[in-house]
C-alpha cells in the first residue's frame, strides 16, 4: 500500500474527522489519482504560508490542516511566553475564510492565547498594520490572495507585521509536524472564550488608525484639491476586501469622481465575473475598462481579493486608448514620484533606501542611483522585503525605507505595514495623477518621461503549470537540468553572470570568479546578460508552476519589445 493510501485510510478511521468529511472521502474511493493528489504530501509553508485547494485531505485546505497549523503556532507562542500579547486575525471573501479564521481563533484561545479577530473581511495590509499597532506577537490572515476560487490560504505574520521568515518559520513548522494526532488540537466555544477575555473583536477603530497613517504619506494634498474634480477614477475590488477601505480613503482625501464597478463591488468568494481574480490578468479588467470608456476615466484600478496587489490601466489622451501598466511599471512610477517629491521638498533623507526583489526591474536600480538612495535586492516574496526592514530597525535605523516593491503588482510606501499594500498604492497613484495633471501630463506621459530619463527598461514573465506529484517531479527535473547545464548565451547575448541561489554562489563566466549571493538559500537561477539584460527562473512557492522572468534595456520602446520577445523565446526553448 502506498503512503498516500495509508493516510487516506487513516483519515477515514480517525474519530476526530467528522461524518460529513468522511463522506467526502468515501465518494473518491477507488479514484486512485484523486486520492494521491489529496494525500501525497502535507501542505507546507511556502512564500506565503499554507495555500491549497479547499477540500478534505493532507494536501488540502480544511479545518484540520488549518487548526493543525494553528496549534503549532500556539505551541511556538507559548514557548515564547506571548499568550497575553495575542494574535491579530483577518480574512478575505473566499470560501471558508470566515470559518477558518474563527476556528483558528478558538484554537489559540483554547491554548490560553488572546486573539483580536476582525469583525468582517479586511485587506491584508491592514492585518499587517494591526499586528504592529496592537503589539501582537503574531498575526494570521486567511486568504489565497489572487488564486482561483477553489483555493484558500493561511498566512502567518511575525510580531513586526511581516510574514514569517527563517528561522521562525522552521520553528513553527517543527511544532506543526510534531502534531501526529488531530486529537492534540485544542478548541473551545466562542462564548466561553469571550467570557474569559481571550476572544476580542476589532474593526472600525483599527480602520481609522490605519487610514490616518496612510494620509500622513500624502505629499501633494494641494494638487489633489486643485485638480481632483477633473480626474475620473474607475475602481474594482474584484469581489474582495478592497471595497472596505479604498472608496472611503479616496473620498476622505477629496476625490469626487470615483466609479466602482457595480458587478464586482460585492464581496463574493465565487468571483462570478472573472475566471481568475488577479489584476495581473487583463481579462479581469473587462468590466472596469467598459465602465472607464463610458465615463471617460483617466485611471482604471483593480485590487486583488485581499487588496495587497494593484493593477492599473492609464488613458493615453493622444490615442484615447487605455494602456496596461505591469507591476514593474507601476512600482517604478510610484518610486519616482515618491523620491522626486521628497527631493523637491528637501525631505529626502541621506540614509533613504528602496527595496526590491531580484526578479524586479533594473529601472529601479537607475532610480536609486539618480536620487542617491541605497538599493536592497532580496529573494522573491514580500516577507524578504519585510526582513530587510526589520534589520534596518534593529540596526538603529541605519537606512530609512521609503519604498519597496516586487514585480508581481505589490508595493509599499512608508513603514506602517510590512506587506504589500494596494490601498496605499491606490492613494499614491491617484495623488500622482493629480500632480502630473497639473503639468498637463497623464501617468502614461510620466512613464514615457521616465524612460527618456533612465532608458527603456521592459520586463515580462511566463510560467509553466505542472500539477500533482508528476508535475512536482517534472519541475524538479527542469531546475536540475538548467542548474547542471547552464546556457553560455541566450538570444545571441553572452551570459556574463550565473547566480545559483541554492548553492548561494554568483559566478562570473568570463573570469570564473565566484562570490556569495549574500541571500538565503533558495531554489532560484539567475542569468545576467550583456546590455543590462537578465533572466531568472524559480518554482512557485504557492502554485504548481515554474516561473520565468526576463528583463531588457534599449534605446526605444520598440527596440525593447523586440529584444524582450527574442529573449523570451530563448527562455521558452530552455524550458522544454
- Residue from 399, 402, 365, 404 nearest 384 by CA: 404
- Residue from 101, 118, 206 nearest 416 by CA: 206
Separation of alpha carbons 104 and 574, rounded Å: 44
Phi, psi for residue 347 in degrees, rounded to 5? -110, 10
Residue 481 Cα distances to 116, 324, 381, 463, angstroms: 48, 35, 24, 17
Strand order of the β-sheet with 400-406 is: 374-378, 352-357, 400-406, 410-413
What value does the CA radius of gyration of the chain take, rounded to a whole number of Å? 24
Contact (CB, 8 A) for 92 and 306: yes
Contact (CB, 8 A) for 67 and 173: no
Contact (CB, 8 A) for 429 and 333: yes
Residue 209 Cα distances to 62, 115, 204, 212, angstroms: 33, 19, 9, 5
Residue 460 is among the residues annotated as catalytic for this protein: no
Which DSSP symbol is given to 219?
A: S
Contact (CB, 8 A) for 314 and 288: no
Residue 542's CB is within 10 A of a number of other CB atoms, namely: 18
Separation of alpha carbons 25 and 309, rounded Å: 35
Contact (CB, 8 A) for 105 and 281: no
Placement of cell 524538479 in the chain: 476
Task: Please name the residues in contact with 194: beta carbons below 8 A apart, sequence gap of 6 or more.
Answer: none
- Residue from 145, 86, 97, 103 nearest 121 by CA: 97
3-state secondary structure of 59: coil
C-alpha cell read off for 171: 520553528
Residue 22's CB is within 10 A of a number of other CB atoms, namely: 15
- Name the active-site residue from 145, 340, 360, 361: 145
19-26 and 3-13 helices, crossing angle to 10°: 140
What's the first-to-final CA gap in the chain, in angstroms?
34
Residues acting as catalytic residues: 145
Amino acid at each position: 500500500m502506498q503512503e498516500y493510501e495509508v493516510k487516506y485510510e487513516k483519515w477515514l478511521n480517525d474519530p476526530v474527522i467528522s461524518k460529513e468529511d468522511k463522506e467526502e472521502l468515501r465518494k473518491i474511493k477507488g479514484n486512485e489519482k484523486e486520492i494521491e493528489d489529496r494525500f501525497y504530501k502535507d501542505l507546507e509553508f511556502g512564500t506565503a504560508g499554507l495555500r491549497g485547494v479547499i477540500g478534505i485531505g493532507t494536501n488540502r485546505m480544511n479545518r484540520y490542516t488549518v487548526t493543525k497549523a494553528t496549534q503549532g503556532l500556539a505551541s511556538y507562542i507559548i514557548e515564547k511566553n506571548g499568550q497575553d500579547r495575542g494574535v491579530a486575525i483577518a480574512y478575505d471573501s473566499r470560501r471558508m475564510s470566515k470559518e477558518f479564521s474563527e476556528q483558528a481563533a478558538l484554537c489559540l484561545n483554547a491554548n490560553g492565547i488572546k486573539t483580536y479577530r476582525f469583525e468582517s473581511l479586511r485587506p491584508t495590509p491592514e492585518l499587517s498594520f494591526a499586528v504592529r499597532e496592537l503589539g501582537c506577537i503574531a498575526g494570521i490572515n486567511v486568504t489565497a490572495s489572487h488564486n482561483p476560487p477553489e483555493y484558500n490560504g493561511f498566512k502567518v505574520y511575525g510580531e513586526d507585521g511581516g510574514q514569517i521568515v527563517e528561522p521562525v518559520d522552521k520553528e513553527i513548522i517543527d511544532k506543526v509536524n510534531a502534531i501526529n494526532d488531530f486529537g492534540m488540537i485544542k478548541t473551545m466555544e466562542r462564548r466561553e472564550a469571550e467570557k474569559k477575555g481571550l476572544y476580542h473583536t476589532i474593526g472600525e477603530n483599527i480602520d481609522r488608525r490605519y487610514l490616518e497613517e496612510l494620509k500622513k504619506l500624502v505629499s501633494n494634498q494641494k494638487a489633489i484639491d486643485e485638480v481632483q474634480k477633473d480626474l475620473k477614477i474607475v475602481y474594482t475590488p474584484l469581489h474582495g476586501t478592497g471595497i472596505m477601505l479604498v472608496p472611503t480613503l479616496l473620498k476622505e482625501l477629496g476625490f469626487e469622481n470615483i466609479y466602482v464597478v457595480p458587478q464586482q463591488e460585492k464581496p463574493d468568494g465565487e468571483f462570478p465575473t472573472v475566471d481568475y481574480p488577479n489584476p495581473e490578468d487583463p481579462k479581469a479588467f473587462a468590466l472596469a475598462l467598459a465602465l472607464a470608456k463610458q465615463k471617460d476615466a483617466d485611471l482604471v484600478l483593480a485590487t486583488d481579493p485581499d487588496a495587497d496587489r494593484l493593477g492599473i490601466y492609464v488613458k493615453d489622451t493622444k490615442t484615447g486608448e487605455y494602456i496596461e501598466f505591469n507591476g514593474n511599471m507601476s512600482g517604478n512610477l510610484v518610486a519616482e514620484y515618491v523620491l522626486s517629491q521628497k527631493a523637491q521638498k528637501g525631505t529626502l533623507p541621506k540614509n533613504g533606501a528602496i527595496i526590491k526583489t531580484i526578479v524586479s526591474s533594473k529601472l529601479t536600480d537607475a532610480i536609486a542611483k539618480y536620487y542617491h538612495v541605497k538599493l536592497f535586492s532580496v529573494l522573491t516574496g514580500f516577507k524578504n522585503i519585510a526582513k530587510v526592514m526589520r534589520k534596518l530597525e534593529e540596526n538603529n535605523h541605519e537606512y530609512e525605507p521609503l519604498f519597496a516593491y516586487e514585480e508581481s503588482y505589490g508595493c509599499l510606501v512608508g513603514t506602517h505595514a510590512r506587506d504589500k499594500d494596494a490601498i496605499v498604492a491606490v492613494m499614491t497613484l491617484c495623488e500622482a495623477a493629480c500632480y502630473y495633471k497639473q503639468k498637463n501630463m497623464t501617468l502614461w506621459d510620466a512613464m514615457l518621461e521616465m524612460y527618456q530619463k533612465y532608458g527603456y527598461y521592459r520586463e515580462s514573465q511566463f510560467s509553466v503549470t505542472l500539477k500533482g506529484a508528476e508535475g512536482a517531479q517534472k519541475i524538479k527535473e527542469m531546475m536540475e537540468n538548467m542548474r547542471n547545464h547552464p546556457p553560455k548565451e541566450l538570444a545571441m547575448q553572452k551570459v556574463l553572470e550565473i547566480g545559483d541561489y541554492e548553492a548561494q554562489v554568483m559566478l562570473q563566466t568570463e573570469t570564473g570568479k565566484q562570490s556569495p549571493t549574500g541571500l538565503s538559500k533558495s531554489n532560484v537561477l539567475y542569468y545576467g546578460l550583456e546590455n543590462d539584460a537578465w533572466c531568472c527562473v524559480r518554482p512557485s512557492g504557492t502554485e504548481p508552476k515554474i516561473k520565468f522572468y526576463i528583463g531588457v534595456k534599449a534605446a526605444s520602446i520598440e527596440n525593447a519589445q523586440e529584444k524582450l520577445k527574442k529573449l523570451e523565446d530563448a527562455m521558452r526553448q530552455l524550458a522544454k
